[in-house]
Amino acid sequence: MNAQPFFLDHIWLIPMFPLATAAVMLFYGRRLSNNIVSWLCSGSVFVSFIFSLGAFFQIVAKPSAARVATKVLFEWIPAVPYHMLDGRLAKFVADWGFQIDPLSCVMILVVTGVGFLIHIYSTGYMAHEGGYYRFFGYLNLFMFSMLMLVLANNLLLLFVGWEGVGTCSYLLIGFYFHKKSASDAGKKAFIVNRVGDAGFLLGIFLTSALLGTIRFTEIGPALAAGGFAIGDPRITAIALLFFVGATGKSAQIPLYVWLPDAMEGPTPVSALIHAATMVTAGVYMVVRTNAIYQLSPKAMGVVALVGAVTALFAASMGVVQNDIKKVLAYSTVSQLGYMFLACGVGAFTAGIFHLMTHAFFKGLLFLAAGSVIHAVSGEQDMRKMGALSKKIPITYWTMLIAALAIAGIFPFAGFISKDLILGKAYEKDALLWAIGYFTAGMTAFYMFRLIFMTFHGTSRVDREAEHHIHESPKSMLVPLMILAALSIVGGWVSWPEIFGGNSHFINFLSTVVAVPHEARIEPLKGASSRLGEIHLMLLSEGLVVLGILFAWYLYVKRTDLPEKIAKAFGGFYRLVYNKYYVDQLYDAMFVNRAKDLGLALGAFDRNVIDGVGVNGAGWLTRFISNVSIWWDTWIVDGSVRLFAYIVWCLNIPVRMIQDGLVQSYMLLIVLGLIGFFGYYFYVAHHAIR
């Protein structure tokens, strides 16, 4: 495109900066000092952030209807002709192209912004770890992949980024690869992701076969031109296949099992990848292709239901976990469920809004948890923490702010985004709203359980660790404070209209959502027989406060109660504590079956291929060689020896005659003479004259 504003024209540089530094890490990282590595890698992300800001402002400068800019670097897959499902000839084109619109703007700002903060944090957190340059190289590679994902202008390039973030997730989860649990977790993440990716790929194929294009800008017109009825099974199929991919990447039921294990990775990794950015890729993808979803109410229903149930399910598991990071992991799964609930009920923009606020407070929660772990010398079990609030104040206050935000206390960021979702859910389906409502209460409960167990009550920290409790270095604290600030004000970009705001954010994103009649979230004015928006807000606030109080009661006031409750609900407690045995179920159903297949194939290889094939071939060769030996010995040599034998046989009379005795020779002379004489005298005596 010509004559585009600078940042829009150079949008392709945004992923390239982190890629460049990742490449530098690959080739030279080992030789560089930690200092240089920190400056280089964080610096490149910062530059990308600046560029993202620039792009944002230049997009905003455009009129609202024209807020789409594309930049194609080069044609990656040239037009390959193929037949669509209905027989029309189409060309499969995938270019290395970038698309800027409000959605991708929000995403790149979140990714580069939060990513930059986490890079800064990592310089402090990973300062004493081995493989420093490797960590930052992977981190930058991840930034590149994520940015490619959100900036792609077609499904295939998005998939490239999709796979890239999956790979980086594997690399970073298994960063401490000498630990078996870490490398196992990395493998689990990648393999479970793969299942989702298969669905996603099938969705892409079906899209190109049905619509003839995979470019986002062309999908909308193709859908309109195709004359698809609402609820067309093919469209539903595409939507559901995409959603399978989303469940894998964004850890929904049934492919969420990798996310709790992913906590084996370093805490900055958990913060960046498994809270703020990678896991949100599924949500992004659903919103990006919302035109397809809008045409299939069934698919949207599935999305909403799965999201809601996952939210509840994960929250229940988060309530009983004792590892601080695991609680946060289940919390992430739960919040992602909220985002999908939002998409499922049509509030795509609300889902993205929650994505953004979640990035702030979940990122902050993870980083602060890392700070806590750092303070208590590596202890992650909350049962061994307590009374830390006075000892690590900054960590405490920032984490508290994040907890308030996630619980949904007014006026923190989480309140606004969660309420938008619940409001829209209530409009669509009261059951979905009820699930979300109840889950919000649980969220508040387990979050404050975490806060109270970690920072309040009596100190249960180990003797030696207690002496070393210290606040983290500046490099770790500053990002915490920035994120805390964002957690407070982050939601104010879309202040609800009933309080006098004008939903800037939602409006900003509205152009991204396809069907106009779902664009704006109408405030519930004048709904007579239903609860108004304000009533819903009050209800949820009430439940949240109840949850916080309950947590305070159990974990500050009467700390003996939790154990008694656990004993009382013994079986149920054990069920939830063991994560409903889902991992074991998957093991039995899939993992061990796959291993069995491997063993069977191994046995087949050993016995049939090696046994019959290789050994058989060996045996056959030996057999043939024996035949050959026999042939050579008896036939070939034999014929030679036969001739020799014949000559020998002919020789026998001659041998008998030649005995070296002169007299026997003489005898033969006489014999010959007799014959000679006989012939000449009695047969041919005419010859004698």
Partner 1 sequence: MVPVDQYLWLSLALFTIGVIGVLTRRNVIIILMSIELILNAVNINLVAFSHMFGTVDGQVFAIFVITDAAAEAAVGLGIILAFFRNRETLLADEMDMLKW
Partner 2 sequence: MVLNSILFYFFAALAVGSAILMVTRRNVVHGAVYLITTLLATAGVFLLLQAEFLFIVQVILYVGGIMVLFIFVIMLVNLDISLLQYQFNRQRFVAAVLALALGAQIFLAIKMGQKSLFPQASVPEILPKNTEAVADALFGHFMLPFEIASILLLVAMIGAVVMAKRRV
**Which chain residues interact with partner 1 by CB under 8 A?**
655, 658-663, 666-667, 670
Q: Is 650 in the site for partner 2 (CB under 8 A)?
A: no
Q: Is 492 exposed, middle or buried (0-12, 13-18, 19+ CB in 10 A)?
A: middle
Q: DSSP strand E in 187-340: where? A: none
Closest CB 686 distance from partner 2, rounded Å: 13
Nearest to 473 by CA among 553, 375, 589: 375
Q: Which does 578 bind (CB under 5 to 8 A by kind): partner 2, partner 1, none?
A: none
Selected from 663, 684, 686, 689, the binder of partner 2 by CB under 8 A is: 663
Do 365 and 274 touch, CB atoms closer than 8 A? no
Task: Tell me the C-alpha distance between 243 and 305, whole Å.
Answer: 12
Closest CB 668 distance from partner 1, rounded Å: 10
Nearest to 166 by CA among 181, 187, 151: 187
Task: Tell me the C-alpha distance between 574 and 566, whole Å.
Answer: 8
Closest CB 662 distance from partner 2, rounded Å: 11
Half-sphere exposure (Cβ direction) of 113: Cα atoms closer than 13 Å: 21
Q: Which does 611 bind (CB under 5 to 8 A by kind): partner 1, partner 2, none?
A: none
Q: Which does 659 bind (CB under 5 to 8 A by kind): partner 2, partner 1, none?
A: partner 1
| Residue range at the interface with partner 2 (CB under 8 A); choices 186-194, 309-317, 362-370, 665-673 | 665-673
Closest CB 614 distance from partner 1, rounded Å: 55
Pair of tokens at residue 190: 């990648």
Q: Is 674 in the site for partner 2 (CB under 8 A)?
A: yes
Strand, coil or helix: 94: strand
Closest CB 670 distance from partner 1, rounded Å: 7
- The residues facing 96 across adjacent strands are 74
| Residue range at the interface with partner 2 (CB under 8 A); choices 31-39, 219-227, 311-319, 659-667 | 659-667
Closest CB 684 distance from partner 2, rounded Å: 13
Task: Tell me the C-alpha distance between 208 and 200, whole Å.
Answer: 13
Q: Is 635 in the site for partner 2 (CB under 8 A)?
A: no
Q: Is 15 left (phi over 0), alpha (psi -120 to 50) or beta?
A: alpha
Q: Which does 60 bind (CB under 5 to 8 A by kind): partner 2, partner 1, none?
A: none
Task: Identify the DSSP state of 533.
Answer: H
Q: Which does 227 bind (CB under 5 to 8 A by kind): partner 1, partner 2, none?
A: none
Q: Which does 660 bind (CB under 5 to 8 A by kind): partner 1, partner 2, none?
A: partner 1
Task: Tell me the C-alpha distance between 342 and 362, whole Å.
Answer: 18
Q: Is 657 in the site for partner 2 (CB under 8 A)?
A: no
Selected from 553, 590, 634, 681, the binder of partner 2 by CB under 8 A is: 681
Selected from 572, 670, 683, 684, the binder of partner 2 by CB under 8 A is: 670
Closest CB 645 distance from partner 1, rounded Å: 17
Q: Which does 662 bind (CB under 5 to 8 A by kind): partner 2, partner 1, none?
A: partner 1
Pick the closer one to partner 1 by CB: 565 or 667: 667
Nearest to 450 by CA among 312, 580, 567, 562: 562
Do 23 and 70 touch, CB atoms closer than 8 A? no
Pair of tokens at residue 678: 């006989």
Half-sphere exposure (Cβ direction) of 393: Cα atoms closer than 13 Å: 1
Selected from 121, 406, 677, 686, the binder of partner 2 by CB under 8 A is: 677
Task: Tell me the C-alpha distance between 461 and 182, whole Å.
Answer: 25
Pick the closer one to partner 1 by CB: 61 or 670: 670
| Residue range at the interface with partner 2 (CB under 8 A); choices 398-406, 517-525, 592-600, 663-671 | 663-671
Q: Which does 655 bind (CB under 5 to 8 A by kind): partner 1, partner 2, none?
A: partner 1
Q: Is 612 in the site for partner 2 (CB under 8 A)?
A: no
Q: Is 528 in the site for partner 2 (CB under 8 A)?
A: no
Angle (nearest 5°) at CA 283 between 281 and 284: 60
Task: Identify the DSSP state of 177.
Answer: T
Residue whose tokens read 């795509």: 348
Closest CB 665 distance from partner 2, rounded Å: 11
Pick the closer one to partner 1 by CB: 502 or 664: 664
Task: Identify the DSSP state of 87.
Answer: S
Pair of tokens at residue 107: 């995403």
| Residue range at the interface with partner 2 (CB under 8 A); choices 81-89, 446-454, 509-517, 671-679 | 671-679
Footprint on this chain of partner 2 (rule: CB under 8 A): 663-664, 667, 670-671, 673-674, 677-678, 681
